Amino acid sequence: MSYVKSLKCRECGRTYPKKPIYVCEWCFGPLEVVYDYKRIKKVLTREKISSREKNLWRYKELLPIDKEPMVGLNSGFTPFFEAKNLSKVLGAKKIFIKDDSVNHPTLSFKDRVVAVALSKAKEFGFKTVACASTGNLANSVSSHSKQAGFNCYVFIPANLEKSKIVSSLIYGVNLIAVDGNYDDVNRLCGEIASKYKWAFVNVNLRPYYAEGSKTYGFEIVEQLGWRVPKHIIVPAASGSLLTKIYKGIKEFKQLGLIKKSDTKFHIAQADGCSPIVSALKQNCDIIKPVKPNTIAKSLAIGNPADGFYVIDIVKKTGGFGEVATDEEIVEGIKLLAETEGIFTETAGGVTVAVCKKLVESKKISKDEEIVICITGNGLKTQEAVENKIGRPIKIKPNIKSFEEEVRVWL
Amino acid sequence: MVVKIRIPTPLQKLTDGKSEVESSGKTVIQLIDELEKKYSGIKERLCDEKGNIRRFINIFVNEKDIRFLKGQKTKLKNGDEISIIPAIAGG
């Protein structure tokens, strides 16, 4: 049963039928899924959600599918926990981590959006799926496409981390490495998408795809005991994740599943690619695109499509934007590993570093609860840290060598 | 002087179904005015009430985003290729 009424332009409000389309024909604004909340309110309760299996489909009434989910049945419901050691080091009372570095099956939050996008692609009857990606989406589309039986074309910037390339190729998909940055890849895919009748998950399936990110926010609320945190720090590339966590929280409030929705949204970007934070700091209405230059390649989108909406949400909730340099990103990755035992990718390093800055500068009160979004896994971006960590201590296979080379604390 | 413009699907109804048209103009904004003469109605789709290019439209001259050039005042020369592409979500 479907609770989706239509698609609607976020800019001018024109409505469109449920089709694989993504921009308003009139003003080119992005299309957004509109639900029948009155009907959903009648059927969706905390108890009902809690009784379901622990994956993202436990919120299926708030996801844009018309049939039962068909792809990505094990994605979502990742760990959420209090990071006591990290809180102590940063001098904050309570920091929580939402850990999508162990999302199923490809270790990033993209498994959420792809589960939704490919389920929708099945409903629409597509045979071929495709995407433009900074790496994590490529891995997730590649993996899910095989499980679901699609042909698959994945487009990436040629200079991606080796592990993100291997983690797509292993599935035997068509991986196209474009000589350019992500924004070049995106432009090309926009043109390819209008010529080939494929399901481009982040182009013509974008309204559906992006809705999957809401489940990251739904889970935080549910795992926190059906309430919202005071602060949330979200890393941003195009900015879609932040806008969808916000939308999800507002939906829960509208459905009466939570009482308050007063979370302050903070945005974290890399210093070498911070078009949204720059516009925020300069209080500027225009987002000037940039040429990315950062080790955080998963956040290296110089022309962020949802930037305007991110700025709007950060401002109206009373949040801030902050950036992390390459050095701070590496320190952030190491800090999370050494305090909480979690190896996150560069985007996670950005988030941890920005959390540190916001607490130190008192933009976030150390006495208030903070949730940080860890969206990807460090095993995929090992190049970023491999020369900045310790080396193995080499010894011969005997006790003497061990005691000579290793300082043992008894 | 002639430039080539690739027309996105939503606007092809205004260009008699053509996905590629030719026109002229010294700058991007002049080009849009020229297109309007031939394909009435196209300007209000590309520009807002103030005459600025809408914020979710990206225009590329020879694959370069005009916001890295001179925006809508970016100069054009014979043989340039123009793409009009809606903003695309991240991945």
Q: Which ipTM score applies to this complex? A: 0.86
Q: Which tens digit of pLDDT belongs to each residue from A159-170? A: 999 999 999 999
Q: What are A240's two structure tokens? A: 């879609």
In this predicted structure, the answer to whether residue B51 has a pLDDT above a threshold of 80 is yes
Q: How far apart are CA A321 and CA B90, in angstroms?
A: 19
Task: Please say whether the beta carbons of A235 and A350 come within 8 A.
Answer: yes
Residue A285: pLDDT band with limits 50, 70, 90: confident
Q: What average pLDDT does range A302-321 have in this prediction?
A: 96
Q: What is this structure's pTM?
A: 0.95
- Burial of A34 (C-beta count, 10 Å sphere; 0-12/13-18/19+): middle
**Which residue, among A369, A364, A274, has the nearest Cα to A322 in the 3D structure?**
A274
Q: How far apart are CA A354 and CA A244, in angstroms?
A: 20
B58 lies within 8 A of chain A by CB:
yes
Residues of A in contact with B88 (CB under 8 A): 132, 186-187, 189-190, 202-203, 206, 305
pLDDT at A235: 98
Residue of A9, A10, A21, A23 best to disrupt the B interface, most CBs of B under 10 A: A23
Annotated domain spans of chain A: 80-106+210-384
Residue A190: pLDDT band with limits 50, 70, 90: confident
Task: Please say whether the beta carbons of A16 and A34 come within 8 A.
Answer: no
The alpha-carbon gap from A219 to the nearest alpha carbon of chain B, in Å, equals 21
pLDDT at A302: 94
Averaged pLDDT of chain A: 96
Q: What are A392's two structure tokens? A: 């193995």
B90 lies within 8 A of chain A by CB:
yes
Q: What are A288's two structure tokens? A: 């000037």
User: Per-residue DSSP letters for A214-237?
Assistant: HHHHHHHHHHTTS---SEEEEE-S
Which H or E run contains B46? helix B42-46
Which percentage of chain B shows pLDDT scores above 70?
Answer: 98
Q: Which of A49-63, A206-220, A283-297 is predicted with the least confidence, judged by mean pLDDT?
A: A283-297
Q: What average pLDDT does range B63-83 have in this prediction?
A: 94
Q: CB-CB: which of A190, A288, A301 is closest to B85?
A: A190
B40: CATH: 3.10.20.30
Helices marked H in A128-213 — which ranges?
136-148, 162-169, 182-195, 206-211
pLDDT at A256: 98
Task: Please say whether the beta carbons of A300 and A270 come within 8 A.
Answer: yes
Q: Which tens digit of pLDDT belongs to each residue from A355-370? A: 999 999 999 999 999 9
Q: CB-CB: which of B8, B60, B91 is closest to A202?
A: B91
pLDDT at B91: 67
The phi, psi pair for A272, rounded to 5°, reads -80, 5
From B91, which residue of chain A is nearest by alpha-carbon distance? A133
Indicate the number of domains in chain B: 1
Domain residues for the domain of B54 are: 3-86
Residue B85: pLDDT band with limits 50, 70, 90: confident
Q: How far apart are CA A330 and CA B14, in angstroms?
A: 51
Q: How far apart are CA A254 and CA A40, in angstroms?
A: 10
Q: How far apart are CA A286 and CA A308, in angstroms?
A: 8
User: Per-residue DSSP letters for A244-260?
Assistant: HHHHHHHHHHHTTS-S-
pLDDT at B48: 92
Q: What are B9's two structure tokens? A: 């699907």
Q: CB-CB: which of A22, A133, A194 is closest to B91?
A: A133
Residue B17, by phi and psi: left (phi above 0), alpha (psi -120 to 50) or beta? left
Matching residue, tokens 């720059």: A278
Q: Which tens digit of pLDDT belongs to each residue from A107-141? A: 999 999 999 999 999 999 999 999 999 999 999 99
Residue B71 falls inside a structural domain: yes
Residue B24 falls inside a structural domain: yes
* A120 alpha-carbon distance from chain centroid: 19
Residue B91 falls inside a structural domain: no
- Domain A80-106+210-384: assigned CATH number: 3.40.50.1100
